[in-house]
Amino acid sequence: MKFGIDSLLFNDVFTLESIPILEKCQKLGFDFVEIVPLDLKLFPAKEVAQACKDLDMDVFIGYGLGPEHNLISPDPAVRKKGVEFSKHLIDVCNEANASALSGMIHCTWGYLSGKMRTEEEWKWGVENFREVAEYAKNIRPQMKLNIEVVNRFETHFINTASDAVRFVNEVGMDNVFVHLDTFHMIREEDNFRDAVLVTEGRIGHVHACENQRGIPGTGLVPWVEFFTALKDVGYDGSLAVESFDSDMESIAKLCCIWRKLADSPEDLATEGLKFVKDVYSQVYTT
């Protein structure tokens, strides 16, 4: 398994001045960095690709579509704009030599219609994302597109692993996978093991995050059960420790981090990495 860290733990808008973060993460022991380019115009894709090549690290891109690019919007003009933007995002990922694009890339992060998901929304989502996936397959065939399963307070569209599996199957492209996140799972799934098993081997990416967004191992997530299920479905891919720094006001507000989760971002990263590696070793070597 490859272990990574989310760039939002160390800075908000990733720019050319953020490049040293990549070497910092390598020295902390990570195999890859998952960068969230909050401002694509300022994101130094070529420089990230070169830096990661020099460091022998992988780069992943995480993203959440904005309201003007909502692939399930009732406004057809917004949906069309969303497809066009998503293709541009694929181009940026290709320039950055990204191994995967993950997150809320199938609809707007934070979009809530105020009612249950409709069949029309599902149809729009599947059709539009299939077009995006086909474009990605032509531009960067080796890159995975990972659909993140997110809790009910952040979307009404896909909240459970079974929802994501259905979506991936209906999109019908072999570059589209399920992205599981333990922070969201503990809010929505009835059982961690069953949620992993239902993916039928279609997991493409995992976020390791405690229920309170703190250091993995300090909260309620049943880590051994989770890793055992991952092993049982044959998953040995990418896992990113995801959390945020309460002292970084813009990100703290965005992710509702209202208390200190660790003494420092570096402590959260290293202690989190040690914990998930220890559980991985315990489960996968027995």
- Residues assigned a catalytic role: 148, 242
Spatial separation of the C-alpha atoms in residues 70 and 105, rounded to whole Å: 9
- Residues pairing with 6 in the sheet: 34
Spatial separation of the C-alpha atoms in residues 11 and 193, rounded to whole Å: 33
- Measure the CA angle with vertex 206, ends 205 and 210; round to 5°: 165
Spatial separation of the C-alpha atoms in residues 229 and 220, rounded to whole Å: 17
Radius of gyration, alpha carbons of the chain: 18
Spatial separation of the C-alpha atoms in residues 82 and 73, rounded to whole Å: 9
Non-local CB neighbours of 180 within 8 Å, separated by 6+ positions? 149, 161, 195, 196, 199, 203, 205, 206, 207
**Is residue 45 within 8 Å of residue 95, measured between CB atoms?**
yes
Catalogue the E-assigned strands of 40-92.
58-65
